[in-house]
Chains A and B, each alone.
Chain A
Amino acid sequence: MAAEGPITSGAYILHHLTYLQLDLKTWKIVENSQNFWVVNIDSVFFSVLLGLLFVFLFWPVARRASPGVPRRWQSFVEVCTEFVDGQVKDAFHQKSKFVAPMALLVFFWVLFMNLMDLLPVDALPTAAEAVGIGHLRILPPADPNITLSMSLTVFLLCFWYSFYCKGLKLVAKEAFLHPFEAGNPIAKIVLMPLNFVLKVVEELSKPLSLGLRLFGNMYAGEVIFILLAALTLRYSAPAHIAPTTGAAFFIFAALAVFTVGLFAYGKGKWLRGWLPLALLAVIAAGSLFGFLPAIGGQTYYQILFATGWGIFHWLIIALQAYIFMVLTVAYLSMAAEHH
């Protein structure tokens, strides 16, 4: 941790929300830069990494795809492809070579990026700190640059695609003669600026809402994970005893996993109810009164809290990926269709 002395929760949270930035003008790592020519290396690194994950999961199947009896992994990939294809066919009625592949990529890429949220908030940043990287945000969708860049790309594709499908005349007609329509030519000309302004607002709201929706959901999820982790800070080890509690860390981590396992798979009211509750009470009391190594208490709570919220967060992760894909297809469909 960058901060000296006891860590306050404010500093802890801020630390987790700071990007690893590279200034493109000076080629130096900077912190909290407000310049435009700065790249958030962590966001780009993890999004590229997860994009490559998608490629390496799907490409081998694509290269060896055969119409014969599919093997297990091929079946899985085909089920995914079929799912996306069905969604695209529902929403998009033109023939297009890029919409369905783009939907597939968007769904899985966003899903993988969202799933980064389930990694323990301290795991990778702590590991990065060990090799000298001060800040690391591993969740690309919690960076508005990432989500907005994707939605802007979708917007630009829509823009190009509407010209491609409808031609200049029809696009201009839609931009200037709707939604306010008039019978005589003078009224038409008078209404043109108003119509155009409304159209611009309408079109700009699409990429903004698309990008900000994903960003907002994932950012909120990440912040909740960080807040839950920050709640446990008071049980963290003072610096001077931390090295002695390495063993305790693993013992308590194992205990935490065991408790969660009991809650999940235990049978009867003893194994499922009283025993894990008693374990929780013992650890809590021990941590509060300092009987147990403090880092154990922190880890214990972090795993419990993060598991609880993580199970719920799964829904958001999958749902947001799905929504992003469906809206991408829907916007492209709106761009292509005359309405």
Chain B
Amino acid sequence: MSINATLIAQILVFLILVWFTMKFIWPPILKAMEERAKRIADGLEAADRARKELADANTRADDEVKKARAEAAVIIERANQQAGQIVDKARTDALAEAARQKATAQADIENMAHRARAELRGQVATLAVQGAEKILGREVDANTHKALLDELVAGI
């Protein structure tokens, strides 16, 4: 083994290759790799964020649904109450109407009964006078015995 000028030639070759690698090979490859790593990291982060947002949206939706359900319950409750009130009012109204109609009817009945009774009384008086005329065989002057007849009618 002898050392010769190959040494110098090879040092030059080595330095040129190192320079070339340093200038044209290493940086683009590493840059691409780092950029890809960054993209992947960004993508993962975005996915995480999206997942969190989805979870948030879900909770919000759940809250909304819960709130809506509560509101609906309140509305139904109120509607029920109103319905009860309406039914109650209707019942009271109906009862009052019924009572009123009953009272009117009773009053009518009483009136009619009064009238019928008065009529009957008059007819009874007439009948009584006619009966008495038949019995007595003569005419009873209604005017003459008016006081008597009135007394009779009142007595029936």
A289 within 8 A of B: no
- Cβ of A58 and Cβ of B29 under 8 Å apart? yes
- Cβ of B9 and Cβ of A34 under 8 Å apart? no
| A193 to B29 alpha-carbon distance, docked (Å) | 47
A185 within 8 A of B: no
A291 within 8 A of B: no
- Cβ of A153 and Cβ of B3 under 8 Å apart? no
- Cβ of B33 and Cβ of A44 under 8 Å apart? no
- Cβ of B18 and Cβ of A47 under 8 Å apart? no
Please tell me which one of the listed residues B1, B4, B13, B30 contacts residue A85 in the complex, with CB atoms under 8 A apart. Answer: B30
Determine the chain B residues whose CB is within 8 A of the CB of A242 once the complex forms: none
- Interface positions of A from 5 to 61, Cβ below 8 Å from B: 21, 24, 33-40, 43-44, 47-48, 51, 54-55, 58-59, 61
Chain A interface mostly? helix
- Cβ of B39 and Cβ of A34 under 8 Å apart? no
- Cβ of A100 and Cβ of B26 under 8 Å apart? yes
Determine the chain A residues whose CB is within 8 A of the CB of B6 once the complex forms: 38-40, 43-44, 143, 145-146, 149
Chain B interface mostly? helix
B156 within 8 A of A: no
A98 within 8 A of B: yes
Known contacts A65-B28, A65-B32; decide if A48 and B5 are in contact (CB<8 Å). no
Determine the chain A residues whose CB is within 8 A of the CB of B22 once the complex forms: 97-98, 101-102
A227 within 8 A of B: no
Which residue on B lies nearest to A21, using beta carbons?
B4
- Cβ of B4 and Cβ of A150 under 8 Å apart? no
| A88 to B26 alpha-carbon distance, docked (Å) | 13
Query: Nearest-CB distance from B5 to chain A (Å)?
Result: 5
Determine the chain A residues whose CB is within 8 A of the CB of B8 once the complex forms: 149
Determine the chain B residues whose CB is within 8 A of the CB of A97 once the complex forms: 22
A contacts with B, residue count (CB < 8 A):
49
Contact with B along A104-144 (1 / 0, CB 8 A): 11000100000000000000000000000000000000011
Known contacts A38-B4, A148-B3; decide if A65 and B31 are in contact (CB<8 Å). yes
- Cβ of B4 and Cβ of A37 under 8 Å apart? yes
Known contacts A67-B39, A102-B22; decide if A149 and B29 are in contact (CB<8 Å). no
- Cβ of A149 and Cβ of B26 under 8 Å apart? no
A82 within 8 A of B: yes
Contact with B along A143-164 (1 / 0, CB 8 A): 1111011101100000000000
Which residue on A lies nearest to B33, using beta carbons?
A78
B45 within 8 A of A: no
Determine the chain A residues whose CB is within 8 A of the CB of B18 once the complex forms: 98, 101-102, 105, 153
Smallest CB-CB A-B distances: 4 pairs: A67-B35, A101-B26, A65-B32, A145-B6
Q: Please list 12 pairs of residues, one from A and one from B, whose beta carbons are closer than 8 Å in the complex, sorted by A's number.
A: A39-B4, A55-B17, A62-B29, A65-B33, A81-B29, A82-B33, A143-B6, A145-B6, A146-B10, A150-B14, A153-B11, A153-B14
